[in-house]
Chains A and B, each alone.
Chain A
């Protein structure tokens, strides 16, 4: 068993790399994935998951950890190892619960919850009633129709990259150009959805 102290230097480097952003970020994402890869075995042994489910829980864990670090939600109260392990355990429990009760994946709704949760109660109730989860497939289809460049821009923004970083990655002249283009892409997506929308219009 490798002592946690052996990882501290590497953990710090990964944290700094993820927070720094830019194109090197992907390297640190991969390093993080490899660092706690052994947790997949723990998911199989401790939570009796299949290898596929445990791998899936682990991938989702790393995605959540990256997301929290990039968006400043990782406060450093626990080591990266403990933090990752805690999220992984929760994901494993979610999967166990899903397989035993046929419930939908709890973590799949998190991204929606996060944005809706920013609204106060009264506004949230109104907006939530207007969100039609059945439109998801149509939205995915429309995303493919707005062009690769638009799609990449929206995905990079969703991944926490700043307009400045996107400008560098996609070779735009300036962050302002990215901001305008990105917003146009969102408009384009909305326009593509118009023929299907009874709720948004």
Chain B
């Protein structure tokens, strides 16, 4: 194994002594092959940084709060009317459903609010993944399934494709298949694996025997390990 990259890393992480640093810098100008290795190292680190930032953007995109209501001092009457109507609905709602929403309802609300459309910026990779996302957003689930199924067998795109394939199954009510995909997703050693959260979501939606308990355990794991979806998991756990 080459020692050159180790030496280069030591320079950029500040692990070299002043004398060694000087020798390193002189070698950049006198040894063309070494300078090329330094160029590779810098390019690779730069690319890794961009990948990292894209992952963080995705992580943040899941945190967007609901838009705040616009404040208007005048035109109070429509608000009063809305408040009265809301009051009636709340009363009726309390009368009919005086308990907390079921896990299935919570899952439905989440899917309606967050998974009807996938952000095209969620993935910076291959065009094929983007094609799958476009098909999903156009509700062409058959096409999306075909694309993601194919990509899930290719190492380079397997993790993302598995995730999206699970979401397609979730959106089309095929919860058993969705859970299979999310189980597979959980096996990938991802930087921040959303598999447990999605699997819990699919279990909540399927609502079969023992699903609620399993979903709860997964949500507790998501919350405790601060995995993607931890904020939502914390909220749901209060009602479970």
Contacts and interface: CB of A to CB of B under 8 A. Distances in A.
The answer to whether A binds B is yes
A152 B159 CA distance: 12
Nearest to B227: A26
Interface string B47-64: 111111101110111011
Interface in B86-104: none
Contact of B9 (A27, A29, A145, A183): A183
A6 interface: no
B60 A33 contact: yes
A123 B21 CA distance: 12
B226 A123 contact: no
B21 to A, nearest CB: 9
Contact of A155 (B55, B61, B188): B55
Contacts of A154: 48
Nearest to A122: B29
A119 B38 CA distance: 10
Contact of B36 (A24, A30, A130): A130
B76 interface: no
B36 A201 contact: yes
B57 A144 contact: no
Interface stretch (B164-172, B189-197, B210-218): B189-197
A125 to B, nearest CB: 8
Interface in B211-239: 225-226, 230-231
Given A144-B125, A144-B157, A118 B12 contact: yes
B9 A186 contact: yes
A78 interface: no
Contacts of B33: 201
Contacts of B9: 183, 186
A184 B49 CA distance: 19
Interface string B65-77: 1000000000000
Interface string A180-201: 0001101101100100010111
Nearest to A186: B5
Contact of B47 (A120, A143, A201): A143
B51 A37 contact: no
A60 interface: yes
A183 B40 contact: no
B44 A186 contact: yes
Contact of A152 (B5, B156, B189, B230): B189
A112 interface: yes
B141 to A, nearest CB: 26
B39 A140 contact: no
B111 interface: no
Interface string A99-112: 00000000010011
A158 B39 CA distance: 17
Contacts of A199: 36, 39
Contact of A59 (B47, B57, B155, B189): B57
Contact of B190 (A144, A152, A183): A152
A189 B41 CA distance: 10
Interface in B3-49: 5-6, 9, 11-12, 25-26, 28-29, 33, 35-49
A119 B5 contact: no
Interface stretch (A7-15, A82-90, A131-139): A131-139
Interface in B107-142: 124-125
Contacts of B48: 143, 154-155, 158
Contacts of A119: 25, 28, 38
A109 B238 CA distance: 44
Contacts of B209: none
A34 B48 CA distance: 25
A123 B28 contact: yes
B63 A111 contact: no
B53 A116 contact: no
A63 B57 contact: yes
A26 B192 contact: yes
Contacts of B51: 140, 143, 155
6 contacts: A30-B230, A111-B49, A136-B46, A148-B190, A183-B1, A199-B39
